[in-house]
Amino acid sequence: MGIPLTGTPEELAAWWVNKQKEQYQDSGFGHLAATLPESGALIGMAGIIPRNLEGETLYEVGYSLLPVHWGNGYGTEMAQQMKAWAFQHLPVDQVISIIHKDDTASQHVARKNGLSPWKEAEFKGMEVVVYRVLREG
């Protein structure tokens, strides 16, 4: 989703940290570290990200896990917490998840989080499916 694919791990980490700083400065939002409670080990990141999609600002539930932690339910748990936080703290009627059209695992997580396919779009040069859920009530 717009992350460079070349460079050393150190260069990519520095790029990501700077990207998050910019995001927090620009919007007040960004990704947060996700850690295991028992060990404090980093397993990934999650957050609410404002996205400009086809001229409209929408708030995305975003997350990413280190591959060693895939399949343990952490992605679903992180996505559910981010969705709940957005509806509790933001004046929004919906939240979205922008998912590459071939990423069936993330599409499954979105469905488990109560989101449904809404529309197909192009985002950062990729074909994606936009999932969304409306605020209840």
Residue 93 lies in a domain: yes
Look at residue 137 in the predicted model and tell me its pLDDT.
65
**Token pair recorded at residue 69:** 């932690």
Give the model's pLDDT for residue 61.
95
Range of the domain at 45: 9-134
* 4: in domain: no
The whole-number pLDDT of residue 28 equals 83
Q: 92 phi and psi, to 5 degrees?
A: -120, 150
- Report the number of distinct structural domains present in the chain: 1
What's the pLDDT at 70? 92
pLDDT for the residue 10: 82
Q: What is the pLDDT of residue 9?
A: 77
Helix (H, G, I), strand (E, B) or coil at 115: coil
Q: Which residues of the chain have pLDDT under 70?
A: 1-5, 137
The structure tokens listed for 21 are 């700083």
Which phi and psi (to 5°) does residue 135 adopt?
Answer: -60, 135
The total of other beta-carbon atoms located within 10 Å of residue 37's CB is 6
